Amino acid sequence: MSIDRKILTLDEFTIQQLRAFPQATGELSSLLRDLGLAAKRVNVEVNKAGLVDILGDAGTTNVQGEDVKKLDVFANNQFMKVLQHGISCAGIASEELDDIVVFDDEISKNAKYVVMFDPLDGSGNIDVNISIGTIFGVYRRVSERGTLCSKEDFLQQGRNQVAAGYIVYGSSTMMVYATKRGVNGFTLDPSIGEFCLSHPDIKCPDFGNIYSVNHGNFFRYEKGVQDYITACQKKNKTNGGPYTQRYIGSMVADVHRSLIKGGIFMYPGTTDKPKGKLRLMYECNPFAYLVEMAGGKATNGKIPILDVQPTELHQREPLFIGSKGMMEELETYHKL
Ligand code: P6P
């Protein structure tokens, strides 16, 4: 008798998780489904970016002083609105917005979570059809439910996340997220318009043979980082040959590859930018939570990313993330 393995949709998976843990209220499951809905809407626009006039600059610059691409604005609004109209989110912070957005309706004021996201990371790659992504982190609010959320709800250590993940808009569109119960990946099936469980219980291999860094900054890295990069070009543990170097310039794609195949991604500080380029709250923390949950490691070169105490919403942080064994190799060159 053939057993047809039912491929669970994201909705079915989150509901199955809820049934397995009856003490759960369903608010986190609902929030994750909301994020999946927004991701599907963004995916439609990303896929036709070359065809309609949503390419190019929106004529504005974001809090980072970067030209804002129209898709950035669209994606930001999709994720913000879907969370605002849900039942689980009291407010958001976004790479595209100077400050937090407090949802002041009665249901949102009573919601359990706040969400931080980069709505479309790597958007500089939109015009050349390179994979881009959305990154999100979910925190239980620390302020009292029934009141408006506040900045303190957002400036929490990454270790306080209750869920974190990303959507990669690539050759296929995937949503990968972690909770304390593990890391699972869902691939969008356009024929039914649903994210379907394609990568259950993702574990990051202890070793890979790919290192990922912007070599253009090599002479501005600390010596320990330079020494590790040089060592990667000589020998690796998996097959004795040199590592392969891959760098897409889109963090979601580079880290996704490191998670699935094994590998290490680095965005170190440089002499001119000691804190590097990546943002702690909505780029480093979500990936650090997810990769650690999958058995990997993530540091800022000194301490685990998840232990960094944030002081500002948009602060930058150096990032070293990936396979546990490769991270430990790095640490022999670049003392934590
Ligand atoms: P660089 C994209 O703009 C991004 O924020 C990340 O997705 C990516 O890893 C990084 O910047 C690339 O930066 O300086 O190497 O071009």
Site of tokens 């070793």: 207
How much is the pTM? 0.93
What residue ranges of the chain are covered by domains with CATH 3.40.190.80? 210-331
Give 310: exposed, middle or buried? Use CB within 10 Å, 0-12, 13-18, 19+.
Answer: middle
280 lines ligand 1 (CB under 6 A): no
How confident is the model at residue 237, as a pLDDT?
Answer: 57
The answer to whether the Cα torsion of 162, 132, 225, 269 is positive or negative is negative
Q: 233-281, pLDDT tens digit by residue?
A: 987 655 677 899 999 999 999 999 999 999 999 999 999 999 999 999 9
Please state which CATH class domain 10-199 belongs to: alpha beta
Low-confidence ranges of the chain (pLDDT < 70): 1-5, 49-63, 65-69, 236-239, 335-336
The C-alpha atoms of residue 29 and residue 39 are separated, in whole angstroms, by 15
Contact 9, 194 (CB under 8 A): yes
What residue ranges of the chain are covered by domains with CATH 3.30.540.10? 10-199
How confident is the model at residue 300, as a pLDDT?
Answer: 97
3-state SS track over 252-270: HHHHHHHHHHCCEEEECCC
How confident is the model at residue 2, as a pLDDT?
Answer: 46
Contact 187, 279 (CB under 8 A): no
Torsion of CA 285, 290, 294, 300, to 10 degrees: -10
DSSP conformational letter for 250: -
124 lines ligand 1 (CB under 6 A): yes
Pocket test for ligand 1, best of 66, 123, 212, 251 (most atoms within 8 A of CB): 251
Q: How far, in Å, from the CA of 254 to the mean position of ligand 1? A: 10
Contact 283, 118 (CB under 8 A): yes
249 lines ligand 1 (CB under 6 A): yes
Please state which CATH class domain 210-331 belongs to: alpha beta
How confident is the model at residue 143, as a pLDDT?
Answer: 98
